[in-house]
Amino acid sequence: MVYGALDIGGTKIAGALIDAEGRVVVRVQRPTPARESAQAMMAVVTAVVNELAACPEWGALSCLGIGSAGPVDTFAGTVSPVNIPAWRSFPLVEQVRSHPAVPDGVEPVLVGDAVAMAAAEHWIGAAKGAANALCMVVSTGVGGGLILGGSVHSGTTGNAGHIGHITVDQNGPVCPCGARGCVERYASGTAIAAHALESGWTPPAGLPATAREVESSARAGDARALAAFDRAGRALAAAIAATAALVELDLVVVGGGVSQAGDVLFGPLRHHLKSFAVLDFTRDLPVVPAGLALDAGLIGAAAAGVAASGLYRAGAGATGPMTT
């Protein structure tokens, strides 16, 4: 028996088959055509499913979870990712369900990608055993998922914990979501690279202007690159402190592509958090890297499929592999 998973983000569309212990058996990935048409986007999803279905393990498929950048609507089965303009109320579950390789009786289950990451980290990752945790994805966008009272808390539509769209600067730049000063406009990989470029940083000859190249420059001591990561860390710290004040947290887990920068990101984040998290019950909040690196979204999406009978409905507790 294997669990199927799709992880759809602004940079990549990945698919995997996961075993009952949360291990990735098969993994495939393709770039996201984020600025192309809805049909082009869906064609890549279809290609990923085709590649998974060609694997012998597909014959043992028992469920299929989909983690997508949000907002999502888990009841309607639709997605409207901020960083994928062509998908607005896109019927992703219906489209995947209609794929000829998806077996009868396997109903695709939708969850926000950051909620999926939180579920995975709580199952077998850095948040295992935590009663109250915030798990964040810092990548092309910024998202989050909450563990409250020992269970994933996804909210009515599956968007609880959407920390990337907390305002941290009332006079800040307009976000693609329509609000001003969102965390995502400061701390996403795209925002880090854009700010570094605006400050006069240039990538090494022949290389793209990405957060990874900014990270390399920061490690080499480039002041403009370091400032871009400091700005990101400050925004993340402000949002984390606000979340901790609202729900009381034991732990914060940060994953996603930008988190792979390690201390280049975590150093300023932890430094600024001391200035924002000053109340007794928010002070000294541990902030740790994700334990599952870049596979957390896939593992969590698979777990969502297993736990579909209740986990992602308002007020329901964890079941199946989500129980810790």
Show pLDDT as tens, one digit a residue, over the chain (324 residues). 899 999 998 889 999 999 988 899 999 999 999 999 999 999 999 999 999 999 999 999 999 999 998 899 999 999 999 889 999 999 999 999 999 999 998 999 999 988 999 999 998 999 999 999 999 999 888 999 999 999 999 888 888 899 999 999 999 999 988 999 999 999 999 999 999 999 999 998 889 999 999 999 999 999 999 999 999 999 999 999 999 999 999 999 999 899 999 999 999 999 999 999 999 999 999 999 999 877 888 999 998 888 763 333 333 333 345 443
Domain boundaries, the chain: 2-113+294-322, 126-291
pTM greater than 0.85 (yes/no): no
ω into residue 321 within 30 of 0, thus cis?
A: no
Q: Are 112 and 70 in contact (CB under 8 A)?
A: yes
Task: Say which CATH architecture domain 126-291 belongs to.
Answer: 2-Layer Sandwich (3.30)
Taking CA atoms, 319 is separated from 3, 152, 154, in Å, by 15, 10, 14
- 25-42 burial code (b ≥16 CB/10 A, e <16): ebbbbeebebeeeeeebb
Q: Do domains 2-113+294-322 and 126-291 have the same CATH topology?
A: yes
The total of other beta-carbon atoms located within 10 Å of residue 109's CB is 25
**What architecture does CATH give domain 2-113+294-322?**
2-Layer Sandwich (3.30)
Closest residue by Cα to residue 189 from 228, 136, 234: 228
Cβ-proximal residues to 194 (8 Å cutoff; 6+ apart), any chain: none
